[in-house]
Amino acid sequence: MTASAGVVAQLREALGERVDTSPEALNEARADKSGHAAPEAPLAVVRAASVADVQQTLRIATATATPVVTRGAGTGLAGAANTGGGEIALSVRGMDRIVEVRADDLIAVVEPGIINADLNAALAPHGLWWAPDPASRAISTVGGNIATGAGGLLCAKYGVVRDAVLGLDVVLADGRLVRLGHRTVKGVAGYDLTSLMIGSEGTLGVVVGATLKLRRLVPGAVCTLAATFADVRAAAAASAAVTASGVQPAVMELMDAASLAAVHALLALPAPAEGAAQLTIQTDGPAAAAEADAIAAVLSGAGGEVAVTHDAAEGERLLAIRRSMHPAMEALGTTLIEDVAVPRSALPAMFDEIARIEREYGIVIPTVAHAGDGNLHPNFVFAPSTGSGTAADSGASAGSGTATDSGTATDLVPEHIWAAADDLFRAALRLGGTLTGEHGVGVLKRRWLRDELGDDQWQLQRAIKQVFDPVGILNPGKVFDA
Amino acid sequence: MTASAGVVAQLREALGERVDTSPEALNEARADKSGHAAPEAPLAVVRAASVADVQQTLRIATATATPVVTRGAGTGLAGAANTGGGEIALSVRGMDRIVEVRADDLIAVVEPGIINADLNAALAPHGLWWAPDPASRAISTVGGNIATGAGGLLCAKYGVVRDAVLGLDVVLADGRLVRLGHRTVKGVAGYDLTSLMIGSEGTLGVVVGATLKLRRLVPGAVCTLAATFADVRAAAAASAAVTASGVQPAVMELMDAASLAAVHALLALPAPAEGAAQLTIQTDGPAAAAEADAIAAVLSGAGGEVAVTHDAAEGERLLAIRRSMHPAMEALGTTLIEDVAVPRSALPAMFDEIARIEREYGIVIPTVAHAGDGNLHPNFVFAPSTGSGTAADSGASAGSGTATDSGTATDLVPEHIWAAADDLFRAALRLGGTLTGEHGVGVLKRRWLRDELGDDQWQLQRAIKQVFDPVGILNPGKVFDA
């Protein structure tokens, strides 16, 4: 029996039929939604049904020095959950219970596998919601949202995941369970390991429970504005003007001309004017209508052609154009979806940089932005190169085109695309930004992490990883490139 | 020359007149506002004027293995900044510049020594504010607020320090400078060391700069309600009812009978009715008046005698009663100010526990609470025991009575007071709470930290401390008791 077979045998003995080694399961675990996949399939998929299952898996992994990649719904966009050869894919997707909802304390305790939208559907009858709203909310898990420190559309007004988690139950690399954080609004006993765990992408432990900070549902109707501008820079400047005006929209999404055209084509809508870019904005709460009027004035003053609706269905229809971006890009080819964020005032300058990079590299970079918080998603669309690796395009969850990431630079992303992405990251950093606003580092951005953090901080972070994971079994090769 | 004299000589050579060894300075550095002081005076007070000064100090400290205690305004309530024999007090109080204010990006970059209220006075003309509002805001520094992870009066609606800091510049134990976090609304590149640093009480590094997340000033007038109840349990139940009703006050403060009587005596106001407790509540924003009416109805329904004012000056007068709590306690004698927090629904039960402890130990525990977020400040008032230690009551900044904490259990707090406090902490933990909502652990709560965190998490936190501080010079003996 090989060492690998021994690990699988131990898992089977401990966990029985919750160990899945079917070719379909193993292949699916290679990829997330980034379009990239591990070159080889993992040893096994463990479908944990309980905290004890997670603990058993990690005890075996530690004893055998076998890497473990924790997975939720596999909707990540940076390859963090891609599971490769010799690794165990630990799925917590089946741990999806809502353990407790306390309307009086505005908290819920949940298991990690619950889908964000399902949680919110269950909270609505209590008059409550959990604010983090990634574009993937209908298909992504709360545990995945926590692992990536997810953002979304509502962050400028309602915060990111870090603002909405009070405590976490975490299984450590050796199988011990620790309870981090608190159930109270305030709490400063010791270091904030809850925040440390949020966004750690499975490299520090496995989240098996979360105490979430809830909000009460916002009363009143939502108002939606759609404004068209002659070009993307004008739209970006208008969004910065809205932020500077002091009115706080709930949603402010920007689509550039290439994005708008791709989505219109996908949805079979009439083509937009050449070069036209669009802002889609929503206001909510008691002052929604007045805020919409104030924003409309700012947008008109900035040269926009503005439409306002107080009708919820019409508003959802307008926003659906933005929500169709990911499938529209998938329809165009294989994409490298980037995720830079800049201070909001730098949004026009960042679009100038994108235009420069498009010219210099002779490529088109369809870009959408959560303009309210300065987070841009430039999409590098390309035909996969064929010089290296094996396309894993049978991975059902990996979108229409799937590139293979072999853990080195010799992946299916063509070199000139990586060079353009490198230029983009450096531009974002120069403008006071970050290389990832909400998708995380995973495998796709790890080679730039050190540039952003600086050597000293990068070493500190690696030393913290070592404290939590002395044997090096927790999602090795992700986040850090060495 | 002794080793200590050698350290001081090195500091003087590097930092000249910024090294203060006057008896007054050394004595003041022994204490914070907790009423507790280190038994011996430190080697020197370094009054840093720049990042380079902080780096120089830490390089010398590391080279000579000399402990460093970072201090701001010395307003802490857990003894975390108390500096003792053989230690360097590193004051960053003089580093108080506002480096940058960006209204369009809603951020400010500041040095750590600026007073919270001074910062907010400077931000107001920009239409901005930094939300953290500890009761000490007029005298405490932003750096101190960050070091303790301070809370305050407005947290349920406007968040704690952790929600209001985007990035930190930190000098490490060996003098290297790292820049943590980001200037953007979103950012998930690597681990969240900014949050790890917040509330770490000087044990992981020295904060020399902070990028703060600002809010726009809330428009409109504030409404203030004062409601009197027959007893504290009724007031606590009423505050929980307000939270459960879904209306979100900006401020909701509770004072029990002993607190109310003490403050009325201090301010020479007519004595309140025997046993009466009070809630002071403020609403703000566009719906302030309607929310005040809704809250008044809840309070009346819960048995309160309610007064509402829309007059700002009258509102401040009502709130001044609550803000006079600390001097009122100082007037009564030496106090051990506690800081437990519980889920808001558990507030009445926590007051039952306090009543039980008062009975069982034959003491009175005047208690105020930030009722909107479940954070209680029970005050144990006592005459210092004389059996051990040396009273350091010449410490000008240490209040009217100053107890000496020698780093062991043999301090001036009488044994039966510690026993009662122990009982209180355990009650808070049983109710799902924490032993410190906003003051931190310092020296006064370190012997209970392990109970709250559990052994495994406590060991993890100590290992993280070791990563940042391998020589053990950063505020040793604070937070962790071994």
Q: What is the pLDDT of residues B240-298, one digit of tens each?
A: 999 989 899 999 999 999 999 999 999 999 999 999 999 999 999 988 999 999 999 99
Sort out which chain A residues have CB atoms less than 8 A from B102's CB and list them: 343, 345
* Nearest residue of chain A to residue B102 (CA atoms): A345
Chain B interface mutation, best of A184, A347, A461, highest count of B Cβ atoms under 10 Å? A184
Which residue among A156, A184, A465 places its CB closest to the CB of B342? A184
Q: Which residues of B touch A102 (CB under 8 A)?
A: 343, 345
Asked if A376 contacts A342 with a C-beta cutoff of 8 angstroms, the reply is yes
Q: Which helix (H) or strand (E) holds A109?
A: strand A107-110
- Neighboring chain A residues of B287 at a CB cutoff of 8 Å: 286
B342 touches chain A (CB under 8 A): yes
Q: Which residue of B has its CA nearest to A346?
A: B105
CA-CA distance, B360 to B58, in Å (whole number)?
48
Mean pLDDT of chain B: 92
pLDDT for residue B408: 37
Closest residue of B to A440, CA-based? B188
- Give the model confidence (pLDDT) of B176-233 as tens digits: 999 999 999 999 999 999 999 999 999 999 999 999 999 999 988 999 999 999 999 9
In contact, B292 and B308? CB cutoff 8 Å: yes
Residue B287 at interface with chain A, using a CB cutoff of 8 Å? yes
Relative to beta strand A177-181, strand A98-102 is unpaired
Distance (Å, whole) CA A151 – CA A139? 15
Give ∠ CA A142-A146-A147 in degrees, rounded to 5.
115
Q: With a CB-CB cutoff of 8 Å, which residues 198-217 of chain B face chain A?
A: 198-200, 204, 216
Q: CB within 8 A of B52, min separation 6: which ones?
A: none
CB pairs A-B closer than 8 Å: 249
Portion 220-279 of A in contact with B at CB < 8 A: 240, 243-244, 246, 248
| CB-CB under 8 Å, A185 with B155 | yes
Residues of A whose CB is below 8 A from B190: 441, 449, 452-453, 457-458, 461, 479
Which residues from A are below 8 Å from B238, CB to CB? none
Phi (first) and psi of residue A95, to 5 degrees: -90, 85
Determine the Cα–Cα distance for residues A403 and A397; give it in Å rounded to an integer: 13
**In terms of DSSP H, where are the helices of A124-231?**
142-148, 155-158, 193-197
Query: Using CA of residue A183, residue A184, residue A188, residue A189, what is the dihedral sign?
Result: negative
* Phi and psi based region of residue A334 (left: phi greater than 0; alpha: psi -120 to 50; beta: remaining): beta
Q: For residue A478, what is the nearest residue in chain B, using CA coordinates?
A: B190
* Crossing angle between the packed helical segments A415-430 and A446-453, to the nearest 10 degrees: 20
**Concatenated DSSP letters for B403-454?**
EE--SSS-SSS-HHHHHHHHHHHHHHHHTT-BSBSSS--TTTSHHHHHHHH-
* Beta-carbon-side half-sphere exposure of residue A217 (alpha carbons within 13 Å): 13
Distance from CA of B237 to the nearest CA of A (A): 12
Partner residue opposite B185 with nearest CB, options A149, A374, A439: A374
From CA B166, how far away is CA B185, in angstroms rounded? Answer: 8
Chain A: nearest CA to B128, how far in angstroms?
10
| pLDDT reported for residue B384 | 67
Say if B461 is an interface residue toward chain A (CB within 8 Å). yes
Q: Is the pLDDT of residue B406 over 60?
A: no
Nearest Cα residue in chain A from B169: A457
A463 interfaces chain B, CB cutoff of 8 Å: yes
Looking at A117-121, A323-327, B123-127, B349-353, which range is the least confident one? Answer: A323-327
Instruction: Categorize the per-residue pLDDT at B437 as very low, low, confident or very high, splitting at 50, 70 and 90.
Output: very high
Q: How far apart are CA A59 and CA A51, in angstroms?
A: 12
Answer yes or no: are the C-beta atoms of A74 and A55 closer than 8 Å.
no
For testing contact with chain A, the best of B178, B180, B184, B431 (most A CBs within 10 A): B184
pLDDT of residue A2: 83
Q: Which amino acid is residue B273, in one-letter code? A: A
Task: Give the residue among A234, A247, A324 at the shortest CA–CA distance from A282.
Answer: A247
Closest CA–CA distance from residue B457 to any residue of chain A (Å): 6
B459: chain A residues, CB-CB within 8 Å = none
Chain A residues near residue B372 by CB distance under 8 angstroms? 185
Largest alpha-carbon pair distance within chain B? 73
Chain mean position to CA B168: 19
Q: Is A327 on the interface with B (CB under 8 A)?
A: no
What string of pLDDT tens digits covers the 482 residues of chain A? 688 889 999 999 999 999 999 999 999 999 999 888 999 999 999 999 999 999 999 999 999 999 999 999 999 999 999 999 999 999 999 999 999 999 999 999 999 999 999 999 999 999 999 999 998 999 999 999 999 999 989 998 999 999 999 999 999 999 999 999 999 999 999 999 999 999 999 999 999 999 999 999 998 899 999 999 999 999 999 999 999 898 999 999 999 999 999 999 999 999 999 999 999 999 999 889 999 999 999 999 999 999 999 998 999 898 889 989 988 988 888 888 999 999 999 999 999 999 999 999 999 999 999 999 999 999 998 876 554 433 333 333 333 344 444 443 336 789 999 999 999 999 999 999 999 999 999 999 999 999 999 999 999 999 999 999 999 999 999 999 87
The pLDDT value recorded for residue A413 is 85
Strand pairing category for A223-229 and A277-283: antiparallel
**Neighbouring-strand partners of residue B228:** B278, B305
Of A127, A341, A449, the CB nearest to B184: A341
CA distance A89 to A41: 10
Q: What are the phi and psi torsion angles at A91 (to 5°)?
A: -90, 125
Measured between alpha carbons, how far apart are the two ends of chain B, in Å? Answer: 31
Average pLDDT over residues B316-322: 89
A452 touches chain B (CB under 8 A): yes
Distance CA B401, CA B383 (A): 9
Q: Nearest residue on chain B to A432, judged by CA atoms?
A: B183
Domains and CATH numbers, chain A: 3-91 (3.30.43.10), 98-216 (3.30.465.10), 223-324 (3.30.70.3450)
pLDDT at B385: 59
Smallest Cβ distance to A184: which of B107, B172, B374? B374
Interchain contact, A178 vs B457, CB within 8 Å: yes
Q: Do A184 and B343 touch (CB under 8 A)?
A: yes
DSSP line for B1-61? --HHHHHHHHHHHHHGGGEE--HHHHHHTTB-TTSEE-SS--SEEEE--SHHHHHHHHHHH
Contact check, Cβ <8 Å, A434/B189: yes
User: Does A191 sit within 8 Å of B461, measured CB to CB?
Assistant: yes
Contact A368, A376 (CB under 8 A): yes
Please, are residues B86 and B66 in contact by the beta-carbon 8 Å criterion?
yes
B107 vs B164: CA distance, rounded Å: 10
Q: Is residue A172 less than 8 Å (CB to CB) from chain B? A: yes
Interface test with B, best of A133, A191, A444, A448 (most B CBs within 10 A): A191
The beta-carbon neighbor of B464 closest among A180, A189, A191 is A191
Beta bridge partners of B210: B110, B168
Residues 36-95 (B) with a CB less than 8 A from some CB of A: none
Please, what's the largest Cα pairwise distance for chain A? 73
Nearest residue, CB atoms, A104 vs list B180, B345, B370: B345
pLDDT of residue A330: 84
Chain A residue with the nearest C-alpha to that of B445: A189
Q: How far is A382 from chain B (nearest CA, A)?
A: 25
Interchain contact, A374 vs B184, CB within 8 Å:
yes
What is the pLDDT at residue B390? Answer: 38
Quick one: closest CA in B to A162, which residue? B163
What is this model's ipTM?
A: 0.94
A435: three-class secondary structure by DSSP: coil
